[in-house]
Amino acid sequence: MSASVDMTSRYHELARTDLADLVPELLLAGQLIDRSGMAWCISEFGREGMLEVAIEEWMAASPIYTERMQRALNFQGTDVVTIFKGLQLDIGAPPQFMDFRYHVEDANHGTFHLDHCGALMDVEPMGQEYVKGMCHDIEDPTFDATAVATNPKAQVRPVHRPPRTPPDRHPHCMWTVTIDESHPAVDESPGCTENRKSRAASVTLDPIDAGEQGKADYSGPLLSDLDFAEFSHSALTRIADEVCLQMHLLNLGFVRAVSDRLDPEGAKALCLKQLTGIAGIAAERIHRALRLPGGIAGAVRTLRLHPLLNPAAYVRAEFTEDGFTVRHSPAHEDNAWIALCGPHSVKPLQAIVRAVDPCLDVVVEGDPVEWSCRVVERDEAAEEFTEVAVTRVSTGSAFEFEPRRSLPITPIG
């Protein structure tokens, strides 16, 4: 069978309406990476060690990918509005699941609150220590690290936050964002400095065609909710690719943090568990959201659109009707997710195809870097991997998006 070589984004082939459905799914998948990885970190390092890994990975990634999205969608600036726009396109704040509501006083002052925090819903059953760990220990350094991409003099500080008192308090939390020249500048973390050297940080993606129908950027007013259907086809393609890079950059921060704490084999084993869990849940949601067919054809389509194999400029692969062939790529040079897959390691690929149909499997042949994967049918259904089941515990695995009106937010000052 002939292979199609991906010279441009694999998301380019999707209709504009499908892309509008896919982008929030990818943002949510990025959030669920931690639901997959941190359970295994607790087992390996304990609660305190897990918190350290989470802080290091997000601080290593968010300033880089925030800057990339600002450049791609032409909303670079140094004000509160720019910070809020960045959060709306951040895997740390997927729409509705992390339901940020914004209020702008002026260029240097604003607040946000969360009407719904899916991450809180996931950790509250684990007890107040875990809630405090997420809402205090992790958020304090990582919110400022995200804001530093816009203005190093920005400070994000809580008005109130969980543990909730009373237990059903709404909104779940509220924060102020203040930019002041008297604030000490926030420096990026050593992990972020290291992550800037990665191929993921600098890979070039397809440009946005300003002549297409729909919005080519986010240069206008801050909106209460982004209606992705308003963006042009090429803008949505670029956003989807950028969101996949956000996931890769977060994973590279995770790999670095884990590798600092474990021997090479132990780190590889933990990272493989993280990938397997998110691979299965992301595949299930992508397959359902885009209403893809079942069987081998549906599994190959899901693989083609999965963040493991995207963006095409970062993870190089040639697809056929029943599989694909991986080539050496920038992702291999980064030791990214794809480096965990191959003839030596098929579990993440199995998790993806079994999300489409538990009777599907893969046959993988080649060497550790360049290999081919063929999707095949088995007579018996396979059981769900433990790693996928662990990730499924998150409320995000079954979360449903709803239509929202997109209204401009006007500064009151």
Place of tokens 């990975």: 57
> Count of alpha carbons within 13 Å of 254, Cβ hemisphere only?
27
Sheet hosting strand 173-179, strand order edge to edge: 98-106, 109-117, 173-179, 154-160
pLDDT class of 8 with cuts at 50, 70, 90: confident
Q: Supply the pLDDT for residue 82.
A: 97
Span 121-135, pLDDT tens digits: 999 999 999 999 999
CA-to-CA dists, residue 201 to 87, 105, 237, 327, angstroms:
18, 33, 18, 20
pLDDT class of 191 with cuts at 50, 70, 90: very high
Q: What does the alpha-carbon distance between residue 105 and residue 84 come to, in Å, rounded to a whole number?
A: 13
User: Is residue 151 over pLDDT 50?
Assistant: yes
DSSP symbol at 154: E
Q: Supply the pLDDT for residue 221.
A: 96
Average pLDDT, the chain: 95
CA-to-CA dists, residue 32 to 167, 229, 317, 388, angstroms:
24, 23, 25, 11
User: Is residue 78 over pLDDT 80?
Assistant: yes
User: Is residue 247 over pLDDT 90?
Assistant: yes
Q: What does the alpha-carbon distance between residue 380 and residue 294 come to, in Å, rounded to a whole number?
A: 16
> What does the block give as tokens for 104?
């702008």
Q: Supply the pLDDT for residue 409.
A: 86
User: Is residue 307 over pLDDT 70?
Assistant: yes
Please state whether beta strands 317-319 and 4-5 pair in parallel, antiparallel, or not at all (unpaired).
Answer: antiparallel
Angle at 330 (CA atoms; ends 325, 331), nearest 5 degrees: 70
- Residue 320's CB: how many other CB atoms inside 10 A? 16
- Are 29 and 278 spatial neighbours (Cβ–Cβ below 8 Å)? yes
Helix (H, G, I), strand (E, B) or coil at 342: strand
Q: Supply the pLDDT for residue 290.
A: 98
User: Is residue 234 over pLDDT 80?
Assistant: yes
Mean pLDDT over 156-174 rounds to 93
* 126 Cβ neighbours under 8 A, 6+ residues apart: none
Q: Supply the pLDDT for residue 413.
A: 61
pLDDT class of 275 with cuts at 50, 70, 90: very high
> What does the block give as tokens for 236?
């949505």
Q: What does the alpha-carbon distance between residue 299 and residue 286 come to, in Å, rounded to a whole number?
A: 11
Q: Supply the pLDDT for residue 7.
A: 52
Q: Supply the pLDDT for residue 406.
A: 84
User: Is residue 179 over pLDDT 70?
Assistant: yes
CA-to-CA dists, residue 208 to 174, 275, 278, angstroms:
35, 30, 29
* Domain ranges within the chain, ordered by starting residue: 4-9+269-398, 14-237
Span 335-379, pLDDT tens digits: 999 999 999 999 999 999 999 999 999 999 999 999 999 999 999
User: Is residue 5 over pLDDT 80?
Assistant: no
* 39 Cβ neighbours under 8 A, 6+ residues apart: 390, 391, 393
pTM of the predicted model as reported, rounded to 2 decimal places? 0.96
